[in-house]
């Protein structure tokens, strides 16, 4: 088959009708807590007999750290992908295919390991799309899939994605999609909002000094640089600029000694790894300064709260777009409740990322088949049609808002709402923007006893 201009010109009414059925309403058609494990297996066993999967098997791959230091995140990847596959198959699969998940263990996202796994998934396992959560910092996944024009979806590393996309020949990564919006708000949203809180009298600060700690990787350093630039433009002084090696950091004593020697109004750590950040907070609280504290990313992970318990109270963190945990996010609230019913606990946010990736993919496949006759289990040309359809016609109502891809295949920034949270007694509360807030920003519990 070919992706011709004649194909592309098919009556717009068909596009609208199919998009409405498969897209925005598709989420709400998904089953709510499909059966028991026994019923799940029975559904697989009897699906072909009932004619529910007349076209056979559609294999899709999953990249996840199933072993190594990030196994907690990997478990969330698996939870979300298996959840979506179960529900999608309960609705008849994708275009008459039963979806089968093939897992690949990325361990700690080492380059050669990822390349080997992707090669195996494509050439030996015969997958037709690959999914992931966060991945290799340099996004070697993109270069591994592009020679096959293999569809790849994940949700992280926006800066690397943007850099690779804009510095490479046009269309080189046309089958790669990122389920995050621009990370640019990570650089400016906290400085502007923190300064607003101070000027409105919502927060008191002992001085206008900001201590920034970051780790030696692009994600952490890029965000830290943006925070530094924007705080300085607002008249704040960067009193500490300290880098730690990328990887496990258990001892923060020397950096905390510098913070205690010159207490700042705000302490920032963009290291992002939950265990590292939890150790930083715990050691800070042994002799705290009278400072507010912002931690990058880590508080999103249940591991961070589990490690600290109530000690995490007062910590501020954020997201460049409305997340599943945002107060007042009805889609997010419903997803969390279904997840709790399914797993017996509230999973890590990447569970929801993987869950929604599979549903976006299902929508794209069904639109591409309905409009252009593309086969999800077809070859390279069919995958290119599905990718083009995903790029141009995606309109999925997800937990972070309307999922529409921009020109570099990330979620379009115009639909994103930066959110700031604060933790109290292990619970997250939305404190910014006001339209979603379920709590006011407060000084941390160590405020009254901190060093000035």
The whole-number pLDDT of residue 224 equals 98
Kindly report the CATH class assigned to 185-319+418-449. Answer: alpha beta
Second-level CATH architecture of 5-182+327-415: 3-Layer(aba) Sandwich (3.40)
Q: Which of 101, 77, 92, 78 is nearest to 34 (CA)?
A: 92
Enumerate residue ranges in the chain where pLDDT < 50: 1-48
At residue 50, the pLDDT reads 56
Residue 21 φ/ψ, nearest 5 degrees: -70, -45
- Write the pLDDT tens digit of every residue in 15-62: 333 343 344 333 333 333 333 344 334 444 444 455 689 999 999 999
Query: What pLDDT is recorded for position 451?
Result: 86
Residue 357 has what pLDDT? Answer: 97
CATH fold match for the domains 5-182+327-415 and 185-319+418-449: yes
pTM for the whole structure: 0.82
3-state secondary structure of 175: coil
Q: DSSP of 181-249, one letter per residue?
A: --STHHHHHHHHHHHHHHHTTSS--S-SEEEEEEESSHHHHHHHHHHHHHHHHTT-EEEEEEEE-SS--
β pairing state of 396-398 and 401-403: antiparallel
Identify how many contiguous H helices and E strands the chain contains and give both numbers. 16, 14
The reported pLDDT for the residue numbered 51 is: 65
Domain range summary for the chain, segments of one domain joined by +:
5-182+327-415, 185-319+418-449
């Amino acid at each position: 088959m070919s992706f011709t201009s004649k194909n592309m010109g098919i009556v717009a009414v068909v596009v609208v009708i199919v998009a409405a059925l498969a897209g925005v309403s598709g989420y709400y058609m998904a089953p709510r807590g499909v059966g028991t494990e026994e019923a799940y297996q029975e559904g697989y066993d009897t699906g072909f007999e009932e004619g529910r999967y007349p076209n056979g098997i559609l294999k899709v791959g999953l990249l996840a750290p199933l072993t190594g230091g990030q196994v907690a995140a990997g478990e969330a990847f698996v939870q979300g992908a298996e959840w979506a596959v179960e529900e999608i198959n309960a609705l008849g699969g994708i275009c008459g295919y039963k979806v089968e998940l093939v897992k690949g263990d990325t361990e700690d996202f080492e380059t050669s390991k990822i390349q080997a796994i992707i090669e195996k998934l494509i050439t030996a396992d015969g997958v037709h799309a690959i999914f992931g959560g966060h991945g290799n910092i340099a996004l070697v996944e993109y270069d591994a899939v592009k020679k096959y024009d293999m569809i790849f979806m994940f949700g992280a590393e926006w800066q690397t994605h943007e850099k690779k996309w804009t510095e490479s020949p046009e269309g080189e990564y046309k089958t790669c999609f990122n389920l995050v919006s621009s990370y640019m708000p990570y650089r400016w949203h906290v400085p502007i909002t923190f300064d607003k809180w101070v000027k409105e009298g919502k927060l008191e600060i002992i001085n206008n000094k900001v201590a920034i700690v970051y780790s030696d990787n692009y994600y952490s350093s890029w965000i830290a640089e943006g925070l530094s630039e924007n705080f300085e433009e607002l008249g704040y002084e960067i009193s500490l600029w300290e880098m730690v090696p990328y990887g496990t950091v258990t001892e923060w004593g020397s950096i905390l000694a510098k913070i205690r020697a010159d207490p700042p109004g705000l302490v920032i750590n963009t290291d992002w790894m939950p265990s590292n950040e939890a150790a930083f907070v715990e050691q800070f609280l042994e002799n705290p300064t009278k400072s507010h504290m912002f931690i990058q990313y880590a508080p999103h992970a249940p591991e961070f709260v589990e490690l600290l318990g109530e000690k995490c109270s007062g910590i501020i963190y954020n997201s460049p777009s409305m997340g599943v945990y945002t107060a007042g996010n009805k889609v997010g609230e419903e997803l969390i409740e279904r997840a709790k019913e399914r797993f017996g606990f509230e999973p890590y946010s990447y569970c929801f990322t993987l869950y929604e990736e599979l549903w976006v993919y299902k929508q794209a496949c069904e639109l591409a088949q309905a409009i252009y006759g593309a086969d999800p289990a077809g070859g390279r040309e069919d995958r290119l049609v599905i990718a083009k359809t995903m790029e141009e016609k995606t309109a999925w109502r997800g937990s972070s808002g309307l999922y529409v891809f921009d020109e570099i295949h990330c979620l379009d920034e115009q639909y994103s709402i930066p959110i700031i949270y604060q933790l109290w007694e292990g619970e997250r509360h939305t404190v910014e923007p006001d339209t979603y807030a379920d709590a006011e920003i407060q000084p941390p519990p160590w405020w009254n006893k901190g060093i000035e």
